């Protein structure tokens, strides 16, 4: 590939506005994207980032304004047309066909034909070239479903770079990756930069902005607030620009007031866990962390009755509740917030207020009938306290940003009292402003005397938020930390601990 050495923008957004009926999602946005540079889009959920990249990807067309490629007007009428003009996107969820090989996924829709039949030799050569362009040595014959999440992302990038790629859009590419996988992905991005490709990178993680970005554009309420060189702006200034106010501290100072009772797992084993013992006392915020695939998520599922126990016991306030369904767990005052809010946390065909009250419908049921007026009033009060934006409780979940969908899920924990709150990846894909609000909700729960268990792959989140933390590796608890031991230097080595060390 020819390296681009010019300094003119490869893609320019010129005064773009996008209206969806009465809602203005983008308002007069102008941004230039330069070859060989990683341009970070930073903003709260609902700031307009997704609308902007959907316009660049050909999914939506602007209501006014234009997009230029190499200084010429570009009519991005479809994703296919955008790819033909050199703009490709890789989204959070890989769109590979799991049963097809890497080679077949790379040439899907671009197959070379000879006499009406697949030219397998040419297709394989094209796949080899695509992987080489992304700097990957993956086997072309492996099934996509057998790849790690990071390798799936690399295949997506290789597929996106085929042809005359000029601009690559990466939307939250590391959301489900480990630190090692993220590092490998960044190596691929740096290769793209060296080849003169412009990269748009969307992330909520401040550390990634510093590590991979050159330029950052801050968006808020559909408007471009500012575009700055990464080196010229502090993290605090970025957050202030993003939320429109100064955020004093992301992590609240939660008093440590452990009380009697709470959640106990005593030598619990499941298909993913081995002999796990941990406690989260009332008035405490306790963390569980580890690599993706370590088994940490099964702790939350076991606590809520979603996973069968093979051995051990679970207790709430000293009473054993090992057997039982999620419905029974709710009656036993346990509420669980799943990691995949779209698949497991929300019913997409029900309004926001109906989703918020799902676990407490018996509170408004008399003689078999639900008092809908009382239910809605309670839900609206909680959603208002959760700062749902926009404040439209009657809207479907899909109309809200990711952070606000998470608020709808979390609202369930405030429509009635629970003794135990189990959060699984509570801020995945959630912006800084919404994170602060979620952490504030956790603080209120702990101070009210509930036990709060936070399961998270985000180690800085665990360190900044909890009173005590457990590290899980290969299904085992390999370490418990508190006080000064809650640090990255102390905890991170335990993420990679081999079980022969643990069991010897």
Q: Following DSSP, what letter does each residue of 70-135 receive, concatenated?
A: TTEEE---SHHHHHHTTEEEE-SS----TTSBHHHHHHTT---EETTEE-HHHHHHHHHHHHHHTT
384 and 306 belong to one structural domain: no
CA atoms within 13 A on the CB side of 223: 7
353-374 pLDDT, tens digit per residue, is 999 999 889 888 888 898 999 9
pLDDT on residue 176: 67
Taking the C-alpha atoms of residue 91 and residue 241, their distance in angstroms, rounded to an integer, is 25
Q: Per-residue pLDDT for 116 more than 80?
A: no
Over residues 29-53, the mean pLDDT reads 91
Q: Is residue 53 part of a domain?
A: yes
Residue 492: is its pLDDT beyond 80? yes
Q: Could you tell me if 372 and 322 lie in one domain?
A: no
Q: What angle do CA 173, 174, 177 make, to 5 degrees?
A: 135
| Of 18-27, 281-290, 369-378, 480-489, minimum mean pLDDT range | 18-27
285 pLDDT above the threshold of 90: yes
Query: Where residue 79 sits, what CATH number does that domain have?
Result: 3.40.50.300
pLDDT of residue 154: 83
Segment 203-214 shows an average pLDDT of 88
pTM of structure: 0.65
Are residues 407 and 462 both part of a single domain? no
- Cross-strand bridge partners of residue 18: 26
Alpha-carbon gap, residue 112 to 125, rounded angstroms: 10
Position 4 pLDDT exceeds 60:
no
Q: How confident is the model at residue 40 (pLDDT cuts 50, 70, 90)?
A: very high
Examine the domain organization and report whether 64 and 195 are in the same domain.
yes
**pLDDT tens digits along 324-356:** 889 999 999 999 999 888 888 899 999 999 999
* Segment of 204-213, 240-249, 492-501 carrying the highest mean pLDDT: 204-213
Boundary of a domain, candidates 210, 243, 276: 243
Q: Has residue 111 been placed in a domain?
A: no
Domain that holds residue 461: 249-333+419-430+448-504
> Which among 89-93, 200-204, 249-253, 442-446 has the top mean pLDDT?
442-446
Residues 210 and 187 reside in one and the same domain: yes
265 and 209 housed in the same domain: no
Q: Is 388 found in the same domain as 305?
A: no
Length of the chain measured in residues: 504
| Predicted local distance difference test score (pLDDT) of residue 447 | 95
For residue 54, the model assigns a pLDDT of 93
pLDDT for residue 238: 87
- Which residue has better confidence, 388 or 31? 31
Reported confidence tier of residue 249, pLDDT bands at 50, 70, 90: low
Question: What is the rounded end-to-end Cα distance, in angstroms, of the chain?
Answer: 53
271-276 LR contacts (CB < 8 Å, sep 24+) = 271/298, 271/307, 271/308, 271/310, 272/297, 272/298, 272/307, 272/475, 273/298, 273/299, 273/302, 273/475, 274/474, 274/475, 274/476, 275/311, 275/312, 275/476, 276/312, 276/472, 276/475, 276/476, 276/477
Do 199 and 67 fall into the same domain? yes
pLDDT at 500 over 60: no
Domain closes at, from 212, 243, 274: 243
Residues 473 and 487 in one domain: yes
Give CA–CA dist 163/86, Å, rounded: 7
Contacting residues for 23 by C-beta, under 8 A, at least 6 apart: none
Residue 129 included in any domain: no
The CA-CA-CA angle for residues 91, 293, 252, to 5°, reads 75
Tell whether 121 is covered by a domain. Answer: no
Is there a single domain that holds both residue 225 and residue 358? no
Same domain, 176 and 55: yes
Q: For the chain, how many structural domains are there in total?
A: 3
Whole-number Å distance between alpha carbons of 149 and 177: 7
pLDDT of residue 2 exceeding 50, the answer is no
d(CA 289, CA 472): 6
One domain, residues 284 and 324? yes
């Amino acid at each position: 590939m020819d390296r681009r050495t010019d300094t003119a923008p490869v893609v320019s957004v010129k005064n773009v506005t996008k209206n969806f009926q009465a809602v203005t999602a983008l308002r007069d946005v102008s941004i230039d994207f330069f070859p060989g540079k990683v341009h970070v889009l930073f903003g709260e959920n609902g700031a307009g980032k997704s609308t902007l990249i959907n316009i660049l990807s050909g999914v939506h067309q602007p209501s006014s304004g234009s997009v230029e490629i190499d200084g010429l007007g570009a009519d991005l009428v479809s994703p296919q047309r955008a790819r033909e003009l050199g703009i490709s996107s890789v989204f959070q969820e890989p769109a590979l066909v799991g049963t097809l090989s890497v080679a077949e996924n790379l040439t899907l829709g671009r197959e070379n034909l000879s006499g009406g039949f697949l030219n397998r030799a040419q297709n394989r050569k094209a796949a080899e070239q695509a992987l080489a362009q992304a700097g990957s040595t993956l086997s072309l014959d492996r099934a996509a479903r057998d790849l790690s999440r990071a390798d799936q992302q690399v295949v997506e990038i290789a597929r996106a770079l085929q042809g005359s790629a000029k601009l690559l859009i990466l939307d939250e590419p590391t959301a489900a990756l480990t630190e090692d996988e993220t590092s490998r992905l960044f190596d691929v991005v740096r290769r793209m930069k060296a080849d003169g490709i412009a990269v748009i990178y969307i992330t909520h993680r401040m550390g990634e902005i510093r590590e991979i970005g050159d330029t950052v554009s801050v968006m808020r309420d559909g408007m471009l607030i500012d575009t700055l060189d990464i080196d010229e702006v502090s993290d605090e200034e970025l957050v202030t620009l993003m939320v429109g106010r100064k955020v004093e501290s992301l992590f609240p100072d939660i008093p440590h007031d452990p009380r009697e009772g709470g959640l106990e797992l005593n030598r619990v084993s499941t298909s993913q866990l081995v002999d796990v013992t941990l406690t989260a006392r009332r008035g405490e915020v306790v963390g569980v962390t580890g690599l993706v695939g370590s088994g940490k998520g099964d702790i939350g599922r076991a606590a809520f009755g979603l996973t069968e126990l093979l051995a051990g016991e679970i207790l709430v306030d000293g009473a054993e509740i090992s057997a039982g369904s999620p419905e029974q767990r709710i009656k036993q005052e346990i509420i669980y917030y799943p990691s995949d809010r779209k698949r497991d946390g929300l019913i997409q065909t029900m309004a926001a207020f109906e989703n918020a009250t799902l676990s407490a419908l018996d509170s408004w049921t008399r003689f078999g009938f639900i008092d809908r007026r009382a239910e809605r009033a309670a839900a609206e009060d909680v959603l208002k306290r959760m700062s749902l934006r926009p404040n439209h409780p009657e809207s479907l979940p899909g109309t809200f940003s990711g952070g606000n969908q998470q608020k709808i899920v979390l609202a369930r924990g405030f429509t009635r009292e629970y003794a135990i709150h189990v959060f699984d990846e509570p801020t995945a894909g959630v912006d800084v402003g919404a994170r602060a609000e979620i952490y504030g909700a956790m603080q209120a729960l702990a101070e009210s005397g509930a036990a709060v268990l936070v399961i998270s792959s985000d180690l800085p989140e665990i360190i900044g938020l909890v009173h005590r933390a457990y590290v899980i590796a290969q299904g085992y608890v390999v370490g418990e930390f508190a006080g000064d031991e809650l640090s990255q230097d102390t905890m991170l080595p335990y993420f990679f601990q081999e079980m022969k060390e643990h069991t010897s």
